[in-house]
A and B are shown apart, each in its own frame.
Chain A
């Protein structure tokens, strides 16, 4: 809503930062989707039920992947991304 003209295209660095922010925002979605997969598994007692060890390995594997991704993103994300000009377009 700011009247300041927002540049339509960003320089390379800002562009990277902006996409990192997108990644950071999408990470919880990824987590929800991956951990939502067990909803599709057949439950115990039925044909082809997923064994407990497989379930444990899958769930904890996702956990490790998420932690690593969060670690990478939090390292790369600039200190004060929200102060960047042109926040209006991709800010909140």
Chain B
């Protein structure tokens, strides 16, 4: 088999189709909720491998061939960051998740008071830093095409490499648009893309290791022989310059955190913080494996390839030269994978930033009223993102074309790293130092950016291309200490290290000094506290005060950004939480913060804040929020929660006091009533007794019939008096505790039977419901007294139940060691205000139905107290309901 260009194109297209399928299947699986395996820590770890681009796939070998082990620094930095996950990455990921951060620009802008200016600035630096990098990927793909074409004797020499670059760029744009903008909410994650890059990660690792194994065991003759070869080669000794070793390790560590594409996979696409746990060791292992064979390949390549062969292509050309076409094809796919996965993720990350921080604010400004106007914001955002993806790739292609794909491009990798590393002070300072301010971040970033452009970016195009050679040698306008590669007259430092050192120094210094000198806005302080103390309280910020917002307007806006279904669910949940019916909750600060956070997942924090702001009016921060920002937050909260507890306690006591007072008043009224009652109760029979006894004494002319009648009345009244006095006596005995109880054992059913028989209910209109099975309970108590209570209750029901067909239910149950006997009738019950006094002496519920003296229930209560039980009114039943409780322990003892 010969590696023809045509075959290569076919394999390439087949591979791309395969990636499409993988991404499509992953999206489908995620949609159906079967995507559990999509969220495994391994997929997360593999997705991090977009750090290894084509530049590292091909370039590392070239790098090693030129500068020995220095290439390792590119991997050592990320390894240090990953093994230190507990310290930094964990916090970054937690913040990213709680604040629904969509990009590195979003995080920085969000931290510094949702500043749009910062977001735009960071986005611009990211675009400037990343575009050449994308161009680099296009170059490496075309270069690998060219290498294979050279080896193909049948193919005409590749003339228009630009054609290839263009088709690669267009294909990547299509793929990215298709799978990168399927859903709007960045927190919904791009399962398809992540899965595809995970597969690509495996392909490139496998490819590079396959080439490495072939070189070491196939050509080198085993590990020992290869090591001997290495020591015998041009790369025989440790050659690395110390400053570059340290500087580049730092640079790669910084870039690992700040590169937009790395931030995308590390933070934004992270599904579960726990994945970091696995990635903390698995990603270093990945990096180790991918760099393991670099030096052997370089050494063997230098040995067997003709002098002048491009070492950047050794991974491809060594197998080709050995006739290993399949291996070469695999190697080509590995490089292709590295390039495509980087470009895809970088394009998504940049497009998110550009659309959220540049396009959306402009669009909002242009449309004036913005969110409340007609038109679907979702479509606008998605369109903006698609256009941005195309734009980013277009820029990369234009850059590639303009630079001509020369050697100048090869150096751009580290230049790009140094550019995005300028975010580091603002990013790290933002999450670890509450004193960091927006002004500080702006000053630091500006200084770093200017120095980076002056010392590294512009000179990187080559002496005399952008900066005239005279300026390089003598400084601008002859000012010597401003020479791009010898600032302050300090010469002799490696240009890259020189640029990193000065830009980071001024960046960090400016950031710290300006932060110390400036004063942050309330929103900044609020966000600062949220970010730095993310582990203490992952609560969301409360930045909205006042209720001027119209819930309906908010709903209209939210529907456009989140989609109708999701927005309605969100609003309904909130309304329910607030205890309202329907879809429109009160626009409380809590809810507005939640809404803003949800929306920031789609359009970024600054834009979401601005959109809510348009509806809310000014971006106000309330006094409470300011208090929350202050250092004493925790104490304040502690104090206020104590106050809250105390005030609750006070309220409870006040309620109890009020109830007690009410009862006392009623009892006092009763006391008054008692006297008049007792005199009334005693006087009525007395009056008739006196009147009739006078008649009997005075009038002798009474016929015996009348005499008997009057004597009968006197007798009846005397009995009534006696009964009243008996009751009073009984009560007073019970109240004084002088009663003698006659404790016996018996069955509850018998007591009830006795009570029912004594009241004659069976012959009256009152219908009785009982469940005898439940009543077979052994009791050890005073049966007669208990029966007295029951008789009283049944008689009351007889007398007072006002239903047309009166019914009485006697229900027996037990709970917590208590026997419960409920007497429930179907009348209208006892009015609420009378319930608390129904057990007091002489209390009568209704005056019309004066039947007794009002002592019955008072006696019942005293009896039950003597029997260690209670009697209470049971509210909320179908009618009047009384509950008698007796301790069950007695029953058990009896059994």
Contacts and interface: CB of A to CB of B under 8 A. Distances in A.
State the main secondary structure of chain A at its contact with B.
Answer: helix
Interface size class of B (residues with CB under 8 A): 35 or more
Given A31-B80, A44-B237, A70-B82, A59 B87 contact: no
A21 to B, nearest CB: 6
A55 B69 contact: yes
A8 interface: no
B284 A63 contact: yes
Contacts of B213: none
Nearest to B84: A28
B217 interface: no
Contacts of B249: 32, 35
A6 B230 CA distance: 58
B388 interface: no
Contact of B246 (A27, A39, A70, A92): A39
Contacts of A19: none
B706 to A, nearest CB: 91
Interface string A53-92: 1011001100110111111011001010010000100011
Nearest to B287: A63
B277 interface: yes
Nearest to B242: A39
Contacts of B284: 63, 66-67, 70
Given A53-B230, A87-B536, A36 B246 contact: yes
B81 interface: yes
Interface in B534-586: 535-536
A24 B87 contact: yes
Interface in B480-529: none
Contacts of B280: 70, 73-74
B278 interface: yes
Interface in B217-239: 227-228, 230-231, 233, 235-239
A32 B249 CA distance: 9
Contacts of A69: 83
B83 A31 contact: yes
B281 A28 contact: no
A47 to B, nearest CB: 11
A80 to B, nearest CB: 9
A16 interface: no
B237 A60 contact: no
A64 B83 CA distance: 12
Interface residues of A, number: 46
Interface stretch (B15-23, B368-376, B630-638): B630-638
A67 B83 CA distance: 8
Nearest to A42: B238
A25 B292 CA distance: 27
A17 to B, nearest CB: 12
B354 to A, nearest CB: 33
A9 to B, nearest CB: 22
Contacts of B72: 59
Given A44-B238, A87-B535, A60 B87 contact: no
A74 B277 contact: yes
Given A63-B288, A77-B277, A91-B535, A3 B638 contact: yes
Given A51-B236, A52-B235, A70 B631 contact: no
B69 A21 contact: no
A4 B638 CA distance: 9
Contacts of B281: 67-68, 70-71, 74
Contacts of B292: 60
A35 to B, nearest CB: 5
Contacts of A52: 68-69, 230-231, 233, 235-238, 295
Nearest to B90: A82
Interface string B279-298: 01100110010001001000
B83 A66 contact: yes
A43 B278 CA distance: 37
B37 interface: no
B631 A1 contact: yes
A35 B239 CA distance: 15
A45 interface: yes
Given A43-B237, A44-B236, A52-B295, A1 B634 contact: yes
A41 B278 contact: no
Given A27-B83, A56-B230, A59-B69, A38 B285 contact: no
Contacts of A74: 85, 277-278, 280-281
Contacts of A3: 634-635, 638
Nearest to A64: B288
Contacts of A42: 238
B79 interface: yes
B76 interface: yes
Contacts of B745: none
A39 B70 CA distance: 12
A63 B236 CA distance: 21
The 6 A-B residue pairs whose C-beta atoms are closest, nearest first, are A28-B84, A44-B237, A24-B86, A70-B281, A71-B281, A53-B227
Interface of B: 68-69, 72, 76, 79-87, 91, 227-228, 230-231, 233, 235-242, 245-246, 249, 274, 277-278, 280-281, 284-285, 288, 292, 295, 432, 535-536, 631, 633-635, 638
Interface of A: 1-4, 21, 24-25, 27-29, 31-32, 35-36, 38-39, 41-45, 49-53, 55-56, 59-60, 63-64, 66-71, 73-74, 77, 79, 82, 87, 91-92
Given A38-B238, A43-B241, A74-B281, 6 more contacts: A25-B87, A27-B84, A56-B295, A66-B79, A92-B432, A92-B535
9 contacts: A2-B638, A28-B80, A28-B81, A31-B76, A43-B238, A44-B239, A51-B238, A73-B86, A92-B91
